[in-house]
Structure formats: structure tokens, C-alpha cells
Amino acid sequence: MQSRTDRGRLITLEGGEGAGKTTALKSIQTVLEEAGIRYVLTREPGGTAEAEAIRDLLLGAEHLEPITELLLMFASRREHINKVIEPALAAGLWVISDRYVDASYAYQGGGRGIDRHLIEQLDQAVVGPCQADLTLLLDIDPKLGMARIRHRPRTDRIENEQLAFFERVRQAYRQQARQHPERFRIIDASQAKNRVRGEIETILKDFVTATQHQQHQHQHESRHTDSHQPPIDKKPGPPDGH
Ligand SMILES: Nc1ncnc2c1ncn2[C@@H]1O[C@H](COP(=O)(O)OP(=O)(O)O)[C@@H](O)[C@H]1O
Ligand SMILES: [Mg+2]
């Protein structure tokens, strides 16, 4: 099995419409580039033909049962994982995804009211170990998020939901963050752009440093435990046979 440390890391961006996810991508890229880390940017549905086709069905349909929406979302995600995310991570690249699994807890769980246990089961079966290593939640009052994107044409089924829907989405995102404090960082996305950028850069730099530390630690340990490669500082044993 591939060692955990050879793999890339998966960073996900979450939050409501207009929170600043796309804007945040640039701050993340800056930090990774300065650290010399190779990465790929992606977003759900991830640009695979199959995932896009499923997604078109999902967003274009006039009406869908919430459960149908949930299953399509996970079907599309599975293709994205299989064809884009997993191969990149296995090749040692870092992956930044604009939205990922937490969005299902937020939109299909909080927004549509689907029981979170069902989402957890799908999460386990479909995403399994391919979980985010770091998730930035850009938390914002949906009224403010909406105001930021009022010029944007709203065409898809989910974007046309009412404010109460997006309030529930926000609360469900916050609940996800409480359940997974080890990988979530919540950012107050109502702040000015430069403050949001500053917070994201600090979080990313800390994460990069911690990851590099883990990797060095691991390399050090494997040098000292690998039987094919005796440690260089090993003292010669006592002469035998005398
Ligand atoms: N902190 C901020 N303060 C004010 N406007 C912002 C801020 N962050 C992003 N914006 C603007 O709000 C709009 C939506 O940002 P965007 O990054 O596209 O959000 P998302 O991808 O989450 O929908 C864009 O016009 C962007 O320039
Ligand atoms: Mg965006």
C-alpha cells in the first residue's frame, strides 16, 4: 500500500453562494506555489464527461425527489473521485476542490432535510477513505452572500431556492465543522477581502508546515526501521567468532 506521506493532500472549499470560494482559490494557490507544491484545481462535478452529464440532469430537472438528488450527487462525485481526485493524490499532487462531500450534508441534508445518517452511509460507501485533509468553510450570512452575486444569472434549480433554504445550508455546514474539528477551519467570510485572504494564507502555511513536518518525520522513521537500509550511523557489532 502507498504510504500516507507519499500521497498528495486534499483541500476542500465549502460555503454558500457568494461566500468567496472561487476568490479563496487564488490565496491557496499562492501559498502552494511558494512552497513548491504541485497541485490540481478541481470543482464538483469535476469535468469528467460522465460526472457532468449526471450533474446536468441534477441541476436542469424541473423537479427531483430529494433522495434522487442525493443519489445523483454521489454518483457524480464517485466519477470525480475515480477519474480526477484519486489519480492526482496517488501521483503525489495536492488537490483543491471547490466544494466536496460536506456540500451534500449542507444542501441535501440541511437544505432538503434528508436524514444525515443516510448521507453518512453514502459518504462511507462512495467516498470512503478519500476524505478531505483540510476543509475551509467560508461562513457567511446567506443574505450577504446573495447580495455579492446578485448580478450573476441564477439558472440552476438549487440556486433558485429561498433564503430559508440557504439558512439551513449554513447551519448544516457549521454542524459538519463541529463534527470534524480536526480538518475544518471556519473563516468569517463577511470580512473584507484582504482579511479573508490573510486568514486563508495563515491557515494554509500552517497546514503546509505541519504536512512537511509529518513527511520528514516519516522519512526519518522509515530510515531507522527499514531492514534493507540499515541506518548510516549504525555502530559495527562486536566481532563474532573470537
Ligand atoms: N470578502 C469579500 N468581500 C467582498 N466581496 C467579496 C469578498 N470575497 C469575494 N467577494 C466578491 O463576491 C463575489 C462572489 O465571490 P466568489 O469567490 O465568486 O464566491 P463563491 O465562489 O463562493 O460563490 C465576487 O464578485 C467576489 O469578487
Ligand atoms: Mg464559485
State the pLDDT at residue 39.
Answer: 98
Report how far ligand 1's centroid is from the alpha carbon of 170 (Å).
16
Q: Cα separation of 24 and 41, whole Å?
A: 12
With residue 139 as reference, give the H or E element that holds it: strand 134-139
CATH architecture of 10-222: 3-Layer(aba) Sandwich (3.40)
Q: Which ligand is nearest to the CA of 152?
A: 1
State the pLDDT at residue 47.
Answer: 79
Report how far ligand 2's centroid is from the alpha carbon of 142 (Å).
14
Q: Whose CA is nearest to atom 2 of ligand 1?
A: 193
State the pLDDT at residue 238.
Answer: 46
Report how far ligand 1's centroid is from the alpha carbon of 25 (Å).
11
pLDDT, averaged per 10 consecutive residues of the chain (242 residues), comes to 77 97 96 98 89 88 92 95 97 97 98 97 98 98 94 79 94 98 98 98 98 87 63 46 42
> Is 170 near ligand 1, meaning CB less than 6 Å away?
no
Which atom of ligand 1 approaches the CA of 19 most closely? Answer: 22
Closest CA to 44 of 9, 76, 89: 76
Q: What would the DSSP string read from start to end of 201-229? A: HHHHHHHHHHHHHHHHHHHHHHHHH-TTS
Residue type, 216: H
State the pLDDT at residue 161.
Answer: 82
- DSSP secondary structure letter of residue 39: E
Distant-in-sequence, close-in-space partners of 89: CB < 8 Å, separation ≥ 6: 7, 8, 9, 10, 95, 130
Q: Are 200 and 28 in contact (CB under 8 A)?
A: yes
- Helix, strand counts (H, E) of the chain: 9, 5
Nine cell digits for residue 219 = 522519512
Q: How many CB atoms lie within 10 A of CB 229?
A: 10
- Pairing relation of β-strands 39-43 and 94-98? parallel
> Is 21 near ligand 1, meaning CB less than 6 Å away?
yes
The cell 466544494 sits on which residue? 99
- Pairing relation of β-strands 94-98 and 10-15? parallel
